[in-house]
Amino acid sequence: MKHLIDQLEADHKLSKDEWIQLIQNRTPELSQYLFEKAQKVRIQHYGHDVYIRGLIEFTNYCKNDCYYCGIRRSNSNVRRYRLSKETILSCCKTGYALGFRTFVLQGGEDGYFQDDIMVDIVQSIRENYPDCAITLSIGECSHERYQKLFDAGANRFLLRHETFNAEHYSKLHPAKLSAKHRQDCLWDLKQIGFQVGSGFMVGSPYQTVENLAEDMLFLQNFNPHMVGVGPFIPHHDTPFKNHSAGTLELTLFMLGLIRLTLPKVLLPATTALGTIAPNGRELGILAGANVVMPNLSPEDVRKDYLLYDNKISTGSEAAESLKELEKRMESIGYHITINRGDSKNMTE
């Protein structure tokens, strides 16, 4: 299997059958070989820098009912909240003082935040922090809405494709949501000029090795600026509460593969990685990742933005403990850097 990793390092692509063969036949020895290659490529393009993003989870209302998500519409046990523009700007102020130069506004698909409200929020952040990047993660929108937000000053957009395979997608989402529409949104975002982040869950219910191979083929084709990959973790108030979580081992393997496929991509070591293993994010960095996303949300709402069980909401995940995160990164030979950290995978 090492020859397939060597081929991937050289050509940045594999066929579907080769992806299946490589993922299916992974071993601890092969994983170590992959991680060494992935680290080398990551250092070649980004050095030992780890970029930080200030995550602001500004609403946990959502119109959708995705079967895996803890803030799905049908979950009546969630304490719902919305942050005001003033609170969002206060989070940015705190983050800026700590050294954050990218703010990520993430929320459910909340009908309250109409175009005029979102445009005003984005414009206000842009005016107050002209040297910062503004990233949005607010789901599927019309081309027109995306354009308005881009014109208001947003630079980046995160929208995981979740799974490329339409049949698999339909097992994770209600019938009104489709894999094709989500992928169309990603192409819209790219056409408008956003730095676009895609990605998928590892170990989601009903996922096959073929599904993962198709996800990798999609990333090869779409060539995003960022890729967010994390393990599926069940939430106790969802239809998938009794399904097994994705594994740390497979998630790290997929991170390494993505680094070799897209050498210059921004690749987070996600909160979910840190949730399934105490040193999960460090292992993610050692597998080829180069971004971490501490939480800037007000402490009193962090526990309410619970997409999955046991999500980290204190300790090094909290922005106040950035020093601990810095120490964690330094312990593995990397360091947190204060800049916007734009993607070097600037594609047409």
Q: Does pLDDT of 2 surpass 80?
A: yes
What is the predicted pLDDT for the residue at 324?
85
Phi, psi for 156 (deg, rounded to 5): -130, 155
Kindly state the average pLDDT of the residues 31-46: 98
Q: Average pLDDT in the 40-55 region?
A: 96
User: What is the average per-residue pLDDT within 262-273?
Assistant: 93
The pLDDT-based confidence of 11 (bands split at 50, 70, 90) is: very high
* Whether the predicted pLDDT of 134 surpasses 90: yes
pLDDT tens for 284-340 read: 999 999 999 888 887 777 776 666 556 655 544 555 578 888 999 999 999 999 899
Q: What local confidence, expressed as pLDDT, does residue 319 receive?
A: 55
Say what the pLDDT of residue 313 is.
55
Q: Which pLDDT does position 300 carry in this prediction?
A: 75
Residue carrying the six token digits 């921004």? 266
pLDDT-based confidence at residue 28 (cuts at 50, 70, 90):
very high
What pLDDT is attached to residue 311?
Answer: 60
Residue 39 confidence (pLDDT) above 90: yes
Any idea which of 65-69, 99-103, 296-300 has the lowest mean pLDDT?
A: 296-300
The yes-or-no verdict on residue 114 having pLDDT over 60 is yes
Work out the average pLDDT over 58-64.
95
In the predicted structure, residue 227 carries a pLDDT above the cut 60: yes
Residue 316: its pLDDT value, please?
46
Q: What is the pLDDT of residues 165-218, one digit of tens each?
A: 999 999 999 999 999 999 999 999 999 999 999 999 999 999 999 999 999 999
